[in-house]
Chains A and B, each alone.
Chain A
Amino acid sequence: DAGVIQSPRHEVTEMGQEVTLRCKPISGHDYLFWYRQTMMRGLELLIYFNNNVPIDDSGMPEDRFSAKMPNASFSTLKIQPSEPRDSAVYFCASSLSLLADYNEQFFGPGTRLTVL
């Protein structure tokens, strides 16, 4: 398996522009997570989906952020309009939902976003 795939790997944009980050989870995984990582705040969960349905979006910082999962193999995280404080590495992760206390989350390579 190719693992979790994210695109683009790097994005540089100007303040006010719309940014769309993309994620393809591991085939067969039915949990998908979006994280943001910065030096100041560490790794934060933004939103997660189970079977394509958003379950918890309490980590989404504000209305400028939105996420969708139209099918089991694709998710997007959109920022509109973008601001310099959105600069961070955005990770997507996926996991199975087996009958276990916890199922390992596998992380994608991340998208490094720079908003000028």
Chain B
Amino acid sequence: QKEVEQNSGPLSVPEGAIASLNCTYSDRGSQSFFWYRQYSGKSPELIMSIYSNGDKEDGRFTAQLNKASQYVSLLIRDSQPSDSATYLCARHNAGNMLTFGGGTRLMVKP
């Protein structure tokens, strides 16, 4: 079992809809999680971080963490074609290291 797992997709949603991206992890001791967005041919960029159970909102993005069930999710409201990218879930390890999931490709259709 991979340490951080994501459905590779593609996840296709119509413009204006809510996109829901999910991530599960195997280490119950994990405390902090991050969502990176990667456009095709570009480098990953951080869009959200979440450290405690519950929801964290930032504009159109909401990160959700459930440590008991060991999953993290990212909701994108009012999805736009510019949101089309691969979304990488990452778990924080000691020493500022990250373990990344395989990523979910999101396609937002106009």
Contacts and interface: CB of A to CB of B under 8 A. Distances in A.
A4 to B, nearest CB: 8
A22 to B, nearest CB: 16
**Chain A at the B interface: SS class:** strand
A101 B31 contact: yes
Interface residues of B, number: 21
A95 B44 CA distance: 14
B100 A42 contact: yes
Interface string A3-44: 000000000000000000000000000010100000000111
A42 B44 CA distance: 12
A42 B87 CA distance: 12
A56 B88 CA distance: 22
A27 B39 CA distance: 25
Interface string A47-81: 01010000110000000000000000000000000
B49 A102 contact: yes
Nearest to B2: A42
A45 B42 CA distance: 17
A101 B102 contact: no
Interface centre among A45, A103, A108 (most CB of B within 10 A): A45
A91 B95 contact: no
Interface in B45-93: 45-46, 49, 51, 88, 92
Interface of B: 31-32, 34, 42-46, 49, 51, 88, 92, 95-103
Interface of A: 31, 33, 42-45, 48, 50, 55-56, 91, 95, 97, 101-105, 107-110
